[in-house]
Amino acid sequence: MKMFLAIFFSSLALILIYGQDESPCEDSLFVELKNKPTPTLSYREYEYFITFTKRCAEYQESLALQMDTTIVAEDIKEHKSNSLDIEEFKLLIKFIGTIVLLYSWLSPL
């Protein structure tokens, strides 16, 4: 009995550790149940289908949130680089203005 419990909990731990990255939307039974007409599902199949429909929606929502966060971070980086470009351009304009001013002062000499 102890051996059975050790194997059971070890298997459960492995499933929990390695099964976390999988999308619930790609679960083989869920995909199979999605393709069956709803009235033909048994009570257990229907409960499984509803549970995984909710998990799939949550998973897709979390992916969308991650994508939005990534896009915002990229926009911030792009904005910072654009603002640096603007600052460099302002410095270039001031530099050219200073050279023109110096030239206009020194040209009569």
The 10s digit of each residue's pLDDT in 56-76 is 999 888 888 777 777 666 766
Contact 48, 30 (CB under 8 A): yes
Say how far apart CA 107 and CA 16 lie, in whole Å. Answer: 80
Confidence of residue 54 (pLDDT cuts 50, 70, 90): very high
Residue 88, pLDDT above cutoff 60: yes
Pairwise pLDDT comparison (88 vs 77), residue with the higher score: 88
Q: Could you state, in order of their start, the residue ranges of all structural domains in the chain?
A: 18-106
- Percentage of the chain exceeding pLDDT 70: 67
Helix or strand holding residue 22 (H, E) = none
Radius of gyration of the chain (CA): 31
Confidence of residue 109 (pLDDT cuts 50, 70, 90): low
pTM for the model: 0.45
Residue 47 sits at the vertex; the CA angle it makes with 27 and 30, to the nearest 5 degrees, is 15
Query: Distance between the two ends of the chain, CA-based, in angstroms?
Result: 105
Pairwise pLDDT comparison (74 vs 105), residue with the higher score: 105
